[in-house]
Structure 1
């Protein structure tokens, strides 16, 4: 049978959440109007901001947001996803599902080729999943359900499952399912040292041209792209602009046409949103639904004690962070599932700002303050994504200091941050994690004990272990109905919120700023990370 499931639409919830969070209510209308500008035109180079600079561009081994944004124009995956999270064709032009839902057959694009002219085939898909993606943080979970991957011919791939996996078709986005060229990666060189990581060859609408470290990354039009007549743009340039004031000025003066995530300081957003040449687009984050939290290394004391983790939750005024530091770009998180993600349940134990409760828990643990009021000293690694994250870290330090938890902020770049997180080389660390449309894909990986794997970031790096949580996540992933899955995910949320394996801070509600000359850029639930094959620009006046 053809796979065309009816998925629950999330757009109304997304709109309500972002508007009530204080973001510009006109954004949807502005973006809709911007696409009604006549026939698409060829030509033009879109210039976007990139900050911080990505460690490399191989999304299979580096899944930070900025690697995905650039790499998403060069590489492709089998599927992409609509705003209401329905799977859409990409390198797979169609797919079939067996009646028992244990076999998924993907029919590949017969005219797709790699940027070096080599044909794209089913061998590339099998290699990517078996030899590369099976060892990555997200796809390890998927591959645990896969019995085998076979290729009846050069343009057909069959995934045979060991058991039903309800979230299967959510797992094929560019972040978790990037397809690499076998002829360049099936070599003796370790994948992390492959020279193509920084000069990638993909199948996407744009080809890598050059990377001037600290300055810019340049992509050019792929004239042999499989989608007829695409892309429209001649190229894309991502400028590295570390300073927030310079980023805002570049957007105001139209020397760049795109900014996203934390590129624009939250306190500048109301003013920037009113600039007549910009659209503030709230669509395109449905699949990601980023959730920020504090990682607590459970292999170290006192983080191994649930009372300490609960004390951290009570000690931090998360509402202040959402309203006064993020200026409405976030809402207070209630637990492990973002409020825009399927199977969210907010009816869980709450952790209001209550330093007295935090102090009582620390006293109960025997963590008594010294003469300076310090109970414990810990290191804290903030996520290196702009000034807003730095301010969040400073505020967390202030809050925890008031209950006797002395924090030393350790500054690292993106590469250092991911390495230390993956190697469990931290006491506490700030993290931002995508939800990927379904808890079986983006949530369970953080909490199941089978995903405790040293050396891999974005896994269970807090090293939390709870057999009941493992069981519930497994049952939810294989349940046959959404009602059954909701019941299981509700239970797992209640257990996790009691155990606090990580200290949840906020659910984000981001904006992408696009110059009104730019059209059809944000066309899927992957937003600015998707391919931009249909994006086009009006000439400058």
Structure 2
């Protein structure tokens, strides 16, 4: 007998029931937002960065979305079943869905996306699809994934960017999916269609009047304004030019002031799936970073509570391992904590034989700051000063986003500030960062530190295939104990990502995807 996980067509709407009873949505209007920085592209089959996802998620769709509790809800799939052994996933697709160019959406598009396109364009999809023995389509509205072994996190692949469904008919005859000009043709199934992209100014999306969910979207247009500097973005919100700002649009120290204005609200919701964690990458290939005592010295030299309070303006929570508060299978009892203790840091360096020279320098390192605004620059400067204070001379190597990505993903750094999205389940968000086989030139969502521990590899692989939740918890507890003790990465804080918006904007954040949801339910109370 099958374990059935069927979701009614109305479940997504039920999330909004309370609001709907209180006040019926109004149709019409334009929602003005900021996209920062300007994305290189918005084809979600190819473009992976945050700005691309923010815009593209209104155009392209996957099979499912997720509630704030990370329970799957229907999108292009209207129901699904999972076999008792956890190896066969059968999806019933929504009938009558059309691509923006009028062509019908069918199971052929799903097969093309997961068998051909996405494994080529998105490394994370390729990694997860290695779990799949076969994908077949018995008919136009059914797709069956059969796994090689159980993989409880498999449903989440349909919600990560690598789960975007692409239009097969546009790619007939294409052999190189990465470079084809077809990628510039923006055709999805979502509630909004491509309108106009005026480079350096705005991206306009327009209502899809033929959207599969009748009566939606409520809005006529979405405008994503491109404002190069943080001060300008603050002014754009204050002046009323834009209706909402996301985390990162303005510096953290501006958020409380902007949120205090009349008719403005702040929410920390909408990051339940991504769950970003900030950390300091340490290139273990480079001496003396391969020595645990040196990494411990760095950990003791940096005050992470100061970072949260004074640099990120309280928008953060302490974290002492790979599993932050609220993350699946977290076991805080096994974590090793490294409190701020410069004297202990110096003692560890002395123990290693790294004595200070005449100028106080014991060793020199390069620090790659994350080029995402003043807050991250301040973090790099603070880190430089704290490390210099214990004799670790630190030079900041400034670069732009492409340069940072190139250096980090190729291992051309000693220290690098970064953050990672944990994506709902450790089999995805944790495995990618610590598996010894997932290292350089696989993007920055990889083990770029060069950490190699065969025990950790074995735990990750066993845990990602374990269907018994209690047994998975035990395996992940062992993993957390090892990682926290060995400190392959210095975790600085769990990032709290506020959204500030005008109260006239309704249903802005309703799912675990937050501002990366499709905005079909958003409306304006004029």
TM-score (norm 2): 0.92
Alignment of 1:191-206 (within 5 A): 191-206=177-192
- Secondary structure of the 1:437 match is coil
1:121 corresponds in structure 2 to 106
Task: Tell me, yes or no, if the aligned pair for 1:56 and 1:197 is still in contact at 8 Å.
Answer: no
Q: Which residues of structure 2 form unaligned runs of 5+? A: 8-15
Give the distance between the partners of 1:93 and 1:229, measured in 2 at CA.
Answer: 18
2:290 corresponds, among 304, 307, 317, to: 304
Is the 8 Å Cα contact of residues 40 and 52 (structure 2) preserved in structure 1? yes
Distance in 1 between the 2:324 and 2:17 partners? Answer: 26
What residue is the counterpart of 1:333 in the other structure?
319
1:510 aligns to 2:511 (yes or no):
no
Q: CA deviation digits over 1:188-212, x for unaligned, max 9?
A: 4643333354552211111122323
Q: CA deviation at 1:277?
A: 1.4
**Out of 58, 61, 65, which is 1:80 matched to?**
65
Q: 1:93 aligns with which of 61, 78, 98?
A: 78
Instruction: Structure 1 unaligned segments of length 5 or more: list them.
Output: 7-30
Question: How many Å separate the matches in 1 of 2:115 and 2:46?
Answer: 14
- Kindly indicate whether residue 239 of structure 2 is the aligned counterpart of residue 265 of structure 1: no
Matched residues, number: 515
Query: What are the residue-to-residue correspondences of 1:361-400 with 2, within 5 Å?
Result: 361-400=348-387
Correspondence 1:282 to 2:239: no
In the alignment, structure 1 residue 322 sits paired with structure 2 residue 322: no
After TM superposition, give the deviation of residue 522 of structure 1 in Å.
0.9
Distance 1:359 1:88, change over 3 A: same
Query: Is the 1:34–1:516 Cα contact (8 Å) retained in structure 2?
Result: no
User: Could you say what secondary structure the match of 1:184 adopts?
Assistant: helix
Kindly report the root-mean-square deviation, in angstroms, between the aligned alpha carbons of the 2 structures: 2.3
Q: Which moved more, 1:44-53 or 1:521-530?
A: 44-53
CA 1:229–1:460 in structure 2 vs 1: closer, same or farther (change >3 Å)?
same
Checking the alignment, whether the CA contact within 8 Å between 1:55 and 1:415 is kept in structure 2 is no
The Cα of 1:101 is off from its aligned counterpart by 1.6
Q: Which residue in 2 is equivalent to 1:530? A: 517
- Aligned CA distance change for structure 1 residues 432 and 59 (closer, same or farther; 3 Å): farther
The whole-number CA distance in structure 1 between the counterparts of 2:108 and 2:353 is 59
3-state SS in 2 of match to 1:73: coil
Note the alpha carbon deviations across 1:47-96, whole angstroms, 9 max, x for none: 11122222322334433222211111111111110011111111111111
Contact in 2 for aligned 1:49/1:259 (Cα 8 Å):
yes
Q: 1:112 to 1:423 in 2, by over 3 A?
A: farther
Change (3 A) 1:514 1:374: same
Relative to structure 1, the CA distance from residue 372 to residue 231 in structure 2 (aligned partners, 3 Å threshold; closer, same or farther) is: same
Matched, 1:104 2:89: yes
Partner-residue secondary structure (3-state), 1:507: strand
Shift in Å, 1:466: 0.8
Q: Which residue of 1 aligns with 2:242?
A: 256
- 1:26 aligned residue: none
Aligned to 1:23: none
Contact 2:6 2:80 in 1 (8 A): no
Shift of 1:305: 2.4
Deviation at 1:320, TM superposition (A): 0.2
Query: Counterparts in 2 of 1:180-259, with a 5 A limit?
Result: 180-185=166-171, 187-188=173-174, 190-259=176-245
Partner-residue secondary structure (3-state), 1:498:
helix
Q: Does 1:406 align with 2:408?
A: no
Q: How far apart are the structure 2 equivalents of 1:359 and 1:192?
A: 49
User: Cα distance, 1:130 vs. partner?
Assistant: 2.2
Structure 2 contact 317–495 (Cα < 8 Å) conserved:
yes
In the alignment, which residue of structure 1 is the partner of 2:434? 447
Q: What CA distance in whole angstroms lies between the structure 2 residues aligned with 1:515 and 1:309? A: 44
2:283 and 2:34 mapped to 1: Cα distance?
A: 33
Contact kept in structure 1, 2:255 and 2:500, CA below 8 Å: no
Task: Tell me the alpha carbon deviations over residues 299-347 of structure 1, each in whole angstroms, 9 at most, x when there is no partner.
Answer: 3223222222222211111110011111221112111112121111222
Alpha carbons of structure 1 residues 302 and 132: separation in structure 2 relative to 1, 3 Å: farther
Post-superposition offset of 1:5: 9.6
User: C-alpha distance in 2, partners of 1:199/1:365?
Assistant: 57
Assess, with a 3 A threshold, how the Cα gap between structure 1 residues 200 and 493 changes in structure 2: closer, same or farther.
same
Listed one character per residue, the Cα deviations across residues 69-127 of structure 1 (whole Å, up to 9, x for unaligned) are 11111111111100111111111111111122210011112222222222222222222
- 1:172 and 2:162 correspond: no
